[in-house]
Amino acid sequence: MAHVRGGKGKKDRDLPLPESLLLLLREQFRQFRPVVYLFEGQLPGEPYSERSLQLMVKQAAERASIRRPDYLAHTATLLHNALAGRGR
């Protein structure tokens, strides 16, 4: 389970995680030893930047032949806010 604080509607939620994703997240934690956020920016304790997430989502969309950049930019912003603990 993943606990999301202040998500959509400013509500806290517990989300089930597939075992395969949980294994990847554990490896991420072991490799990078984050201080505050699982996915941190260049400085320890700082969230991953919104722009970096937008670029990552855009590149993944291009590789998957998805052509909805407006939707994907919004998705990256929501993801950034969730990772930074600032649900909208």
Domain boundaries, the chain: 2-83
pLDDT tens digits, the chain, 88 residues: what are they? 888 777 778 888 888 888 998 899 899 999 999 998 888 888 989 988 888 888 888 888 888 887 766 666 666 666 666 666 654 4
Residue linked to tokens 């909805």: 68
Please name the residues in contact with 42: beta carbons below 8 A apart, sequence gap of 6 or more. none
Taking the C-alpha atoms of residue 51 and residue 11, their distance in angstroms, rounded to an integer, is 25
